[in-house]
């Protein structure tokens, strides 16, 4: 295990909409296993919409939390379940119950799932479905990226965040005790923080968005053992395959990567940044010249299924003007796309590198 890859040319951002973790490990291993440093379990099943599973599996069942809004009952032709929102208008909303002064969360479920998936991962690697030098990847939200979507009245975020942060630290501790560091990669998913700095939310708690972001980086990144890999995924959200705000260019996420590098006392091994399908222009990629992220691998999310290999290569060609060495990825996770498109999408990654 000592010779495991520290960097790959392809990053799998997180979710992969196949039937289960076994299908994810087999498919990703077969199509891009030789090009990645780590493979996630695909966040399949009820984790497919990122942190939404925290809403109905943690908060909706919590005795100290009151549910104010939940998604409507699914119609027969909608192809969704009752816990799945269709947009921001019917996203879960909660508050802390009146009189609660000792809010706590016993189990956020991330570690439970990670341990189960790691056992499956090892079996697939031993069977030759995954290369021997590939690690198991776990994606976790920064605390605000898990809390702030779902607690939207003034002061609620501030009430919930300390307890949730402590619980998430405990999840990381359980994960790192169960999975050997040399076999582990942890990615911090940073979405709310990107959009908060962009200033798009009608609700939020008090405080400077930049300071809140850097405080979380300072607090959470040292929890990952040095022998593990650790990355940061900077995201503009893609609910309904549409950004909540279209990035003007890569300037903001480059600055967020630079500040994370400066503030973190723990090495950051990679950053992932988004590239919209319609951006192959110099203006979008020019901020890459301002990167100050040391040896961290930069993954540009420029692979899009909808314009295939040609569009991906157009974006890649422009990016090379501003950054000599980088890896590639999709813009976000794959979770909300037809499963039948996944093999071809993975192949586009590989073919773009040739």
Which residues pair with residue 185 across a beta bridge? 137, 229
Q: Does 71 fall in a domain?
A: no
Burial class (CB in 10 A: 0-12, 13-18, 19+), 180: middle
Q: Does 295 fall in a domain?
A: yes
Q: Does 80 fall in a domain?
A: no
Burial class (CB in 10 A: 0-12, 13-18, 19+), 208: exposed
Output the pLDDT for position 85. Answer: 84
**Does pLDDT of 206 surpass 70?**
no
Q: Does 9 fall in a domain?
A: no
d(C-alpha 272, C-alpha 120), whole Å: 26
The total number of structural domains that make up the chain: 1
171-188: average pLDDT: 98
Closest CA to 304 of 334, 326, 324, 283: 334
Query: pLDDT tens digit string along 230-278?
Result: 999 999 886 655 667 889 999 999 999 999 999 999 999 999 999 999 9
Query: pLDDT tens digit string along 39-90?
Result: 999 999 889 888 999 999 999 999 999 999 998 887 777 777 888 888 788 8
Q: Does 41 fall in a domain?
A: yes
Q: Does 264 fall in a domain?
A: yes
Q: Does 68 fall in a domain?
A: no
Q: At a CB cut-off of 8 Å and minimum separation 6, what does 325 contact?
A: none
At residue 202 the predicted structure's pLDDT band, cuts being 50, 70 and 90, is: low
Query: pLDDT tens digit string along 7-38?
Result: 799 999 989 999 999 999 999 999 999 999 99
Q: For the domain that residue 192 is a member of, what is the CATH number?
A: 3.20.20.210
Q: Does 339 fall in a domain?
A: yes
Q: Containing domain of residue 206, as a range?
A: 21-50+96-352
**Does pLDDT of 1 surpass 70?**
no
Output the pLDDT for position 105. Answer: 96
């Amino acid at each position: 295990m000592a010779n495991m890859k520290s960097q790959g040319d392809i990053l799998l951002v997180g979710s992969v909409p196949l039937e289960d973790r076994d299908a994810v490990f087999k498919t990703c291993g077969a199509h891009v296993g030789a090009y990645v440093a780590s493979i996630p379990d695909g966040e399949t099943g009820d984790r497919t919409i990122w942190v939404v599973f925290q809403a109905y599996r943690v908060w909706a069942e919590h005795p100290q939390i009151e549910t104010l809004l939940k998604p409507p009952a699914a119609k027969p032709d909608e192809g969704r379940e009752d816990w799945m929102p269709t947009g921001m208008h019917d996203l879960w909303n909660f508050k802390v119950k009146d009189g609660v002064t000792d809010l706590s969360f016993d189990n956020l479920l991330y570690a439970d799932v990670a341990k189960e998936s790691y056992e499956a991962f090892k079996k697939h690697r031993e069977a030759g479905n995954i290369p021997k030098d590939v690690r198991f990847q776990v994606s976790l939200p920064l605390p605000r990226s898990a809390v702030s979507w779902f607690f939207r009245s003034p002061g609620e975020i501030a009430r919930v965040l300390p307890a949730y942060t402590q619980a998430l630290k405990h999840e990381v501790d359980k994960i790192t005790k169960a999975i050997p560091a040399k076999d582990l990669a942890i990615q911090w998913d940073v979405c709310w923080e990107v959009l908060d700095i962009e200033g798009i939310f009608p609700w939020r708690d008090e405080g400077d968005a930049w300071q809140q972001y850097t405080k979380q980086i300072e607090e959470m990144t040292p929890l990952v053992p040095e022998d593990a890999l650790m990355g940061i995924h900077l995201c503009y959200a893609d609910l309904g395959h549409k950004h909540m705000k279209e990035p003007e260019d890569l300037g903001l996420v480059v600055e967020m990567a630079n500040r994370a590098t400066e503030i973190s006392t723990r090495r950051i091994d990679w950053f992932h940044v988004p590239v919209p399908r319609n951006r192959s222009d110099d203006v979008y990629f020019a901020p890459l010249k301002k990167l100050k992220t040391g040896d961290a691998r930069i993954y540009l999310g420029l692979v899009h299924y909808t314009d295939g290999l040609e569009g991906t290569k157009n974006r890649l060609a422009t990016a090379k003007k501003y950054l000599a060495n980088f890896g590639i990825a999709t813009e976000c996770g794959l979770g909300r796309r037809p499963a039948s498109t996944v093999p071809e999408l993975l192949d586009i990654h590989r073919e773009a590198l040739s």
